[in-house]
């Protein structure tokens, strides 16, 4: 007996049949249809390998192959993966593979989301609470849960990087943050806005919003941006491209502004993505390009950026464009945490750009030459200053050397006088007496010189000075005259003579007019114990 599996052309269920001589010619399906073995064993199917529609005999079993690609089209595995779905538009039965993402209704050509329809029909059969959670990939910004009818007691699970929004009766509830929620109006008063207590099942759409940052989204200008270079005054055309990172800032705002009734919202649509998905970047690429084109030239003008040095300002340009674009994206519940202008395309073949580079090169060389000349002038001036400072230092050192030599000579003379028993006042009086004798023409060989030398040798300088002065007076002027000396004074403390200042230079005593006295010779002395004219004692 040759047994095989035959498909019911009405409900799509499979039933065992046979091609033996005494086998039944009709088999009654559970749906009530009488399957005619001879005629209904011929069926059609779409080849999963090449996509062609193949008419084959089901009684051949796994020997039935596609005439184009020779792929087996009636294997036991294929039969076990096939399911019967109800078209949500026309209500007809559709037999398809449960592993497919979507299929097309042969009657009304509606695109059926296979996983969603399977889940809906399973819930209707089970009539029990379910677990509602995110099952989309990370490329999804928004993913709609395929079931819209939930039994009270169903559980909503929201992960850390997600938010969930319920939409029912045209009302969008506030987003559910991360956590586990039981769908019960007594526990969640927020649900009372969209469900009724009298119903045992709630009808609502649940959207999961991915709150993670989607990174590495590429962007680029489709045309060049014309701008007036502020540095050279020439018109140039620039292009730009780079990458951006996108993130949802307001889940509810995004859902109401962009998603609407769409089932999914993804970053980009690839060839392997479902056609039911909405492409987010296709909606915002025009907005981003418009903001880049209108603000790129404005930023270059405001910051007075030279086009030839524009790579140095990529970070500033990126931050400025990011702020301008984020103002527009905020209305849709989106934001860009980072926006990068990685490359500015310059028109290297444009005559204006070539002229701009030539002007910049000439200006750079001219500035460099001016800087060289300026540095040389500064160096010459600095050299003169250093030479002048060196000469001044040498003069100071020479003066210090002369001063030190004078100090050493004075110290030597003082030491010599100390050894001879002289004092500063005695040496001064001796020198004055010698000068006086020279002025009178007596000379060092006179009797006065001998007396002075003798007096100094005996240590009786006062007596010697008296004799010396008397001798000088008698020899120079036998008729003494009064000598007036009112501008100088003698110190009574230390005996310093001929002081013209207000203080004694030897001991620091202050001048006192009360010390003025008149000698018998008629000379007025200001202080002192001896007359400055005749040498007599006070």
Residues 223 and 342 in one domain: yes
Range ranked top by mean pLDDT from 99-103, 178-182, 358-362: 178-182
Q: Is residue 107 part of a domain?
A: no
pTM reported for the whole predicted model: 0.48
440 lies in a domain?
A: no
**Three-class secondary structure of residue 424 per DSSP:** helix
Average pLDDT of the residues in 274-279: 48
Does 75 share its domain with 186?
Answer: no
44-61 mean pLDDT: 78
**CB distance 53 to 46 below 8 Å:** yes
Instruction: Pick 67 or 178 by higher pLDDT.
Output: 178
Q: Of 289, 287, 312, whose CA–CA distance to 300 is shortest?
A: 312
| 208 against 169, higher pLDDT | 208
Q: What percent of the chain has pLDDT over 70?
A: 75
Residues 223 and 333 in one domain: yes
85 & 169 share domain? no
Confidence of residue 422 (pLDDT cuts 50, 70, 90): low
Say whether pLDDT at 514 is over 60: no
Q: What is the pLDDT of residue 433?
A: 66
Q: What tens digit of pLDDT does each residue of 461-510 get?
A: 454 445 445 544 544 444 444 444 445 777 877 878 888 777 888 887 77
Please tell me which residue, 448 or 312, carries the higher pLDDT value.
312
Q: Between these two residues, 98 and 134, which has the higher pLDDT value? A: 134
Q: What pLDDT does 458 receive?
A: 41
- Rounded to the nearest integer, the mean pLDDT of the chain is 75
The residue out of 101, 117, 136 marking a domain boundary is: 101
Domain boundary among 299, 317, 347: 347
Query: Does 54 share its domain with 165?
Result: no
Looking at 101, 136, 164, the residue that finishes a domain is 101
pLDDT at residue number 415: 73
Residue 357: pLDDT over 80: no
267 in a structural domain: no
For the chain, what is the domain count? 4
User: Is 221 in the same domain as 199?
Assistant: no
Residue-number span of the structural domain to which 488 is assigned: 480-538
Whether residues 227 and 173 share a domain: the answer is no
Instruction: Examine residue 286 and state whether it is found in any structural domain, yes or no.
Output: yes
**Is 141 or 229 the better-scoring residue by pLDDT?**
141
Q: Are residues 23 and 81 in the same domain?
A: yes
Whole-number Å distance between alpha carbons of 227 and 234: 9
The reply to whether 169 falls in a domain is yes
Tell me the two tokens of residue 134: 């995110």
pLDDT at 63: 81
Residues 150 and 195 in one domain: yes
Query: What count of other Cβ atoms lies within 10 Å of the Cβ of residue 311?
Result: 11
- The CATH number of whichever domain residue 337 belongs to comes to 3.30.479.30
Residue 109 included in any domain: no
Lowest mean pLDDT among 46-50, 51-55, 99-103, 348-352: 348-352
Inside any domain, residue 261: no
Question: Mean of the pLDDT values across residues 18-45?
Answer: 79
pLDDT computed for residue 267 by the predictor: 63
Name the least confident of 208-222, 269-283, 472-486.
472-486
Instruction: Please tell me the number of Cα atoms within 13 Å of 499 on its side-chain side.
Output: 26
Q: Is residue 413 part of a domain?
A: no
- Tell whether the model's pLDDT for residue 214 goes beyond 80: yes
Q: Is the pLDDT of residue 211 over 70?
A: yes
Nearest CA to 10 out of 93, 74, 87 is that of 93
3-state secondary structure of 479: coil
32 with 95, same domain: the answer is yes
Residue in 450, 422, 421, 419 with CA at minimum distance from that of residue 434: 450
The distance of Cα 447 from the centroid of its chain, to the nearest Å, equals 103
Same domain, 220 and 322: yes
pLDDT of residue 461: 45
Q: Got the DSSP string for 76-112?
A: HHHHHHEEEEE-TTT--EEEEETT-SEEE-TTT-PEE
d(CA 169, CA 199): 15
Q: Are residues 316 and 234 in the same domain?
A: yes
Statement: residue 521 has pLDDT above 60: yes
513 contacts 477 by C-beta, under 8 angstroms? no
Percent of the chain with pLDDT strictly greater than 90: 6
């Amino acid at each position: 007996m040759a047994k095989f599996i035959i498909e019911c052309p009405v409900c799509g269920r499979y039933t065992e049949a046979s091609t033996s001589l005494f086998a039944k010619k009709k088999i009654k399906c559970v749906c009530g249809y009488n399957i005619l073995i001879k005629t209904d064993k011929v069926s059609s199917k779409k080849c999963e390998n090449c996509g062609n529609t193949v008419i084959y005999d089901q009684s051949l079993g796994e020997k039935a192959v596609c005439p184009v690609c020779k792929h087996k089209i009636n294997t036991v595995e294929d039969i076990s993966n096939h399911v019967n779905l109800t078209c949500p538009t026309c209500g007809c039965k559709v037999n398809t593979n449960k592993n497919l993402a979507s299929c097309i209704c042969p009657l009304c050509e509606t695109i059926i989301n296979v996983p969603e329809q399977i889940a809906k029909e399973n819930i209707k059969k089970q009539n029990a609470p379910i677990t509602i959670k995110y099952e989309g990939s990370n490329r999804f910004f928004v993913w709609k849960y395929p079931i819209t009818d939930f039994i009270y007691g169903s559980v909503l699970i929201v992960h850390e990087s997600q938010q969930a929004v319920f939409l029912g009766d045209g009302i969008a509830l506030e987003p559910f943050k991360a956590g586990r929620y039981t769908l019960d109006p007594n526990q969640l008063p927020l649900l009372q806005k969209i469900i009724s207590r009298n119903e045992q099942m709630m009808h609502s759409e649940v959207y999961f919003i991915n709150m993670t940052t989607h990174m590495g989204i590429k962007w680029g200008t489709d045309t060049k941006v014309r701008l007036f270079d502020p540095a050279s005054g020439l018109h140039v055309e620039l292009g730009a491209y780079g990458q951006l990172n996108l993130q949802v800032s307001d889940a509810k705002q995004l859902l109401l502004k962009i998603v609407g009734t769409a089932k999914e919202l993804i970053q980009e649509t690839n060839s392997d993505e479902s056609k039911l998905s909405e492409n987010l970047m296709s909606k915002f690429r025009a907005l981003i390009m418009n903001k880049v084109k209108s603000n790129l030239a404005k930023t270059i003008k405001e910051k007075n950026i030279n086009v030839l040095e524009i790579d140095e300002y990529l970070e500033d340009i990126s931050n400025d464009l990011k702020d301008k674009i984020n103002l527009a994206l905020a209305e849709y519940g989106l934001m860009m945490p980072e926006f990068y202008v990685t490359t500015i395309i310059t028109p290297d073949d444009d005559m204006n750009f070539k002229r701009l580079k030539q002007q910049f090169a000439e200006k750079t060389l001219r500035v460099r030459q001016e800087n060289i000349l300026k540095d040389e002038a500064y160096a010459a001036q600095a050299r003169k200053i250093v030479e002048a400072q060196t000469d001044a230092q040498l003069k100071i050192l020479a003066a210090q050397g002369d001063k030190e030599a004078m100090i050493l000579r004075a110290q030597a003379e003082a030491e010599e006088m100390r050894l001879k028993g002289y004092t500063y006042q005695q040496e001064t009086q001796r020198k004055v007496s010698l000068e006086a004798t020279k002025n009178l023409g007596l000379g060092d060989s006179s009797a006065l010189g001998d007396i002075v030398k003798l007096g100094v040798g005996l240590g009786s300088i006062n007596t010697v000075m008296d004799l010396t002065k008397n001798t000088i007076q008698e020899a120079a002027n036998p008729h003494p005259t009064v000598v007036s000396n009112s501008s100088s004074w003698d110190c009574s403390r230390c005996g310093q003579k001929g002081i013209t200042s207000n203080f004694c230079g030897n001991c620091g005593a202050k001048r006192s007019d009360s010390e003025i006295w008149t000698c018998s010779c008629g000379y007025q002395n200001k202080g002192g114990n001896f007359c400055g004219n005749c040498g007599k004692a006070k």
